[in-house]
Amino acid sequence: MDGVLTFLGNVPWWLWIVAVIVLVAIRDIFFQKAHTISHNYPVVGHLRYWLESIGPEMRQYFVANNREELPFNRIERSWIYASAKRENNYEGFGTDRDVYAHQHIFIKNAMIGYKIPENHPNIENPYFLPCAKVIGAFNKRKKPYRPSSIINVSAMSFGSLSAAAVEAMNKGVLKAEAYHNTGEGGLSPYHKKGGDVVFHFGTGYFGVRSKDGNLSLDKMKVLVDENPCIKAIEVKLSQGAKPGKGGVLPGAKNQRNS
């Protein structure tokens, strides 16, 4: 027995591999009758079955794109995994779907999807949607302001646009019965073309800044008194849309006046 073990221990490793291959070949040719490929191509035929067994994984990671697989493709599975793990399941920066493909179905949002009934007194403007919020009513201001519409022009300053753009938007809100937010660049002559205006100021206090660079309530009062188009005042406390940490109004600049 010891001699047999000694003999087997002296057999080169490659000879063991050859022996295994020979045994598999004998089994494929003479003993198995289920697989024709293994019978006709002994040993090598097993590689075909192995590749076939890992075919779904090969296609999933190396062949198929993000939306080819059925019933659930890679994009759908990733969304499900992220949702199950309470991770961020939002995807921005467009889509890799072919939105121009034949019979592609998608939901198109409507900016003004509400239409008032025909018996409404303002039927000449059928897409008019009145605003329920009255600015200043809760705090019992002297001149509360109820915007005519919930669709308005957001804060974009004169400096970031141009005279023509600001004037066009102000004339547009007059026709649309909306209001025009000035942005933090101050009130320009082009904001005063008939539309309602919400005066907006931020860290720079443009238009209401004193000589020492602080907020001047006296200038604010004069500005509002001389421009009846100003219906409300908006204070920009912070803005995350800017690069870095965003625009933030320092706490030292905040003051409350009765």
* The two structure tokens encoding residue 66: 């993000």
- In order of 76, 208, 217, 251, the CA distances from 256 in angstroms are 51, 16, 11, 12
Can you tell me whether residue 32 is helix, strand or coil? coil
- Residue 14 in domain: yes
Say if 245 falls within a structural domain. yes
Do 12 and 53 fall into the same domain? yes
- Domain of 31 in residue numbering reads as 2-84
User: Would 102 be classed as within a structural domain?
Assistant: no
Distance CA 108, CA 136 (A): 36
* pLDDT string in tens for the chain (258-residue length): 555 556 556 768 787 788 888 888 888 888 888 888 888 888 888 888 888 888 777 776 776 777 777 788 878 888 898 899 888 887 666 677 777 888 887 777 766 665 666 666 555 655 556 677 888 888 888 888 888 888 899 888 888 888 999 999 999 999 888 899 999 889 999 999 999 999 999 888 888 999 988 899 999 999 999 999 999 999 987 665 555 555 565 666 566 554
Residue where a domain terminates, one of 68, 84, 100: 84
Residues 123 and 248 in one domain: yes
CB-CB contact of 24 with 42 (8 Å): yes
One domain for residues 129 and 68: no
Q: What angle do CA 169, 170, 172 make, to 5 degrees?
A: 60
Instruction: Identify whether residues 66 and 113 lie together within a single domain.
Output: no
